[in-house]
C-alpha cells in the first residue's frame, strides 16, 4: 500500500504536491492560532481570545473544501489531513475553551477543575469515536463545540451554579445519541442553515467588539440560532413521528 501511495504521489507534478502540502500547513496554522488564543486567555483578554478562536474556525471551514479541490489525499498520501484536522480541532474547539471556562470564574470554584478535566476527557473520547457522525453528516451527541459553549457562557454570564450545571449537562450529552446539524455538510436546509450561520457570525463579531455588552435583540438572535442548530433535527424527527 505504501508503494502504491508513493507511486501516486510521484505521478503528481512538484507544483501539485507543493500546493497540496500547503493545505496541510494552512490547517496546522490553526494550532498556532490556538496558542495565541490561549495566551490571550491567560491574560484574561476574553474577547481577543474568542476573536482568535473565530479565525481558527474560519480556517477549519475553508481547509476541507480546498483539500478536496486539490485532491490532497491522493497527491500527499503520506500526510493524514483527517488526523491533522482532529489535532487542531482539539486545541481550538476543546483545550483553549476548557481553560477559559475553568479559569474565568464562571464556574463554582470547587467544581471548576473537575468540570474542566471532564470537558477535556469527554471530548478526547468523542474525537476518537468512529460514530461521531451519522450517515447524513449530523453530529451524534454534543459535538465538543466547547468554543461555542464558552462563548455563550461569557455572553449570558449565568450564576456559577447554573454555569456549572450547564457544563456538566453538556459533558453528559456528549454521549447521548441525539443529532446536531453540521452547518456545511448536512444537505437538508443547507442554504437556510448557512444563512443563519452568516447572521450568527455578524452578531458574534458585534458581541466581541462590544466585549459582550450587547443589547437584548443581539443576545436573543444568537441564542435562537444556537437552538436551531442543536434542536432542529430533533424537532423534525418529532414532527414526522407525530404525523405518522
Q: Tens of pLDDT along 47-104?
A: 999 999 999 999 998 988 888 888 888 888 988 888 999 999 999 999 999 999 999 9
DSSP state of 12: S
Is the model's pLDDT at 217 over the cut of 50?
yes
Segment 222-230 mean pLDDT: 91
Q: Which pTM does this prediction carry?
A: 0.88
pLDDT of residue 243: 60
Is the model's pLDDT at 140 over the cut of 90?
no
pLDDT of residue 239: 59
From residue 71, alpha-carbon distances to 4, 6, 12, 14, 66 in Å are 16, 15, 11, 14, 8
Q: What is the DSSP string of 34-63?
A: HHHHHHHHHTT-HHHHHHHHHHHHHHHHHH
pLDDT of residue 1: 45
pLDDT of residue 231: 77
Segment 194-217 mean pLDDT: 94
pLDDT of residue 242: 60
- The 10s digit of each residue's pLDDT in 19-44 is 999 999 999 999 999 999 999 999 99
- The 10s digit of each residue's pLDDT in 128-138 is 988 888 777 67
C-alpha–C-alpha distance, residues 24 and 77, integer Å: 12
C-alpha–C-alpha distance, residues 44 and 40, integer Å: 6
List the grid coordinates of 14: 512538484
> Mean pLDDT score of the chain, rounded to an integer?
88
Q: What is the DSSP string of 166-196?
A: HHHHHHHHTTS--EE--TTT--TTHHHHHHH
Segment 197-216 mean pLDDT: 95
pLDDT of residue 53: 97
Is the model's pLDDT at 115 over the cut of 70?
yes
pLDDT of residue 237: 62
Amino acid at each position: 500500500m505504501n508503494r502504491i501511495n508513493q507511486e501516486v504521489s510521484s505521478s503528481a507534478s512538484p507544483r501539485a504536491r507543493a500546493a497540496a502540502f500547503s493545505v496541510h500547513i494552512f490547517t496546522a496554522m490553526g494550532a498556532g492560532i490556538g496558542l495565541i488564543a490561549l495566551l490571550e486567555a491567560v491574560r484574561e483578554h476574553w474577547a481577543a481570545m474568542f476573536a482568535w478562536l473565530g479565525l481558527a474556525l474560519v480556517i477549519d471551514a475553508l481547509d476541507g473544501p480546498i483539500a478536496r479541490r486539490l485532491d490532497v489525499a491522493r497527491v500527499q498520501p503520506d500526510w493524514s489531513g483527517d488526523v491533522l484536522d482532529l489535532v487542531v480541532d482539539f486545541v481550538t474547539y476543546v483545550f483553549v475553551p476548557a481553560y477559559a471556562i475553568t479559569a474565568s470564574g464562571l464556574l463554582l470554584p470547587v467544581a471548576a477543575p473537575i468540570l474542566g478535566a471532564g470537558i477535556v476527557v469527554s471530548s478526547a473520547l468523542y474525537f476518537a469515536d468512529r460514530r461521531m457522525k451519522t450517515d447524513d453528516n449530523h453530529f451524534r451527541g454534543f459535538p465538543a463545540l466547547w468554543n461555542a459553549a464558552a462563548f455563550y457562557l461569557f455572553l449570558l454570564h449565568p450564576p456559577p451554579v447554573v454555569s456549572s450545571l450547564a457544563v456538566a449537562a453538556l459533558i453528559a450529552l456528549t454521549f447521548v445519541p441525539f443529532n446536531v446539524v453540521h452547518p456545511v455538510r448536512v444537505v437538508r436546509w443547507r442554504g437556510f442553515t448557512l444563512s443563519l450561520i452568516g447572521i450568527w457570525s455578524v452578531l458574534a463579531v458585534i458581541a466581541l467588539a462590544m466585549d459582550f455588552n450587547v443589547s437584548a435583540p443581539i443576545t436573543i438572535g444568537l441564542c435562537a440560532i444556537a437552538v436551531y442548530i442543536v434542536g432542529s433535527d430533533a424537532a423534525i424527527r418529532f414532527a414526522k413521528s407525530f404525523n405518522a
